[in-house]
């Protein structure tokens, strides 16, 4: 938490802007920690999907145009 700047924390306050609720630093910290944990779980899944998508796309491209099909466009 020591490396988080105030400008980053502002983004965690935006959903509460204009509301009468008073937020304390610990609440903002909990929101940040939740976001960090969620991000650390979601990003690896997204990376796996991306790799599988690119592999499938390369396979389909090579099936249709051959291993050196990319050279035909030059």
What residues does each domain of the chain span?
6-73
Tokens, residue 54:
């690119």
Residue 5 scores a pLDDT above 60: yes
Segment 51-73 shows an average pLDDT of 89
**Comparing C-alpha atoms, which of 37, 27, 39, 29 is closest to residue 8?**
29
Per-residue pLDDT band at 26 (split at 50, 70, 90): confident
Residue 68's CB: how many other CB atoms inside 10 A? 8
The pLDDT of residue 48 is 97
Cβ-contact 72, 65 below 8 angstroms = yes
**Distance separating alpha carbons of residues 49 and 54, to the nearest angstrom:** 9
């Amino acid at each position: 938490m020591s490396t988080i700047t105030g400008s980053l924390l502002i983004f965690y306050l935006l959903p509460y802007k204009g509301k009468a609720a008073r937020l304390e630093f610990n609440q903002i910290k909990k929101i940040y920690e939740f976001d960090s944990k969620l991000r650390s779980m979601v990003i690896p899944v997204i990376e796996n999907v991306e790799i599988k998508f690119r592999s499938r796309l390369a396979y389909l491209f090579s099936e249709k145009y051959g291993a050196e099909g990319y050279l035909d466009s030059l």
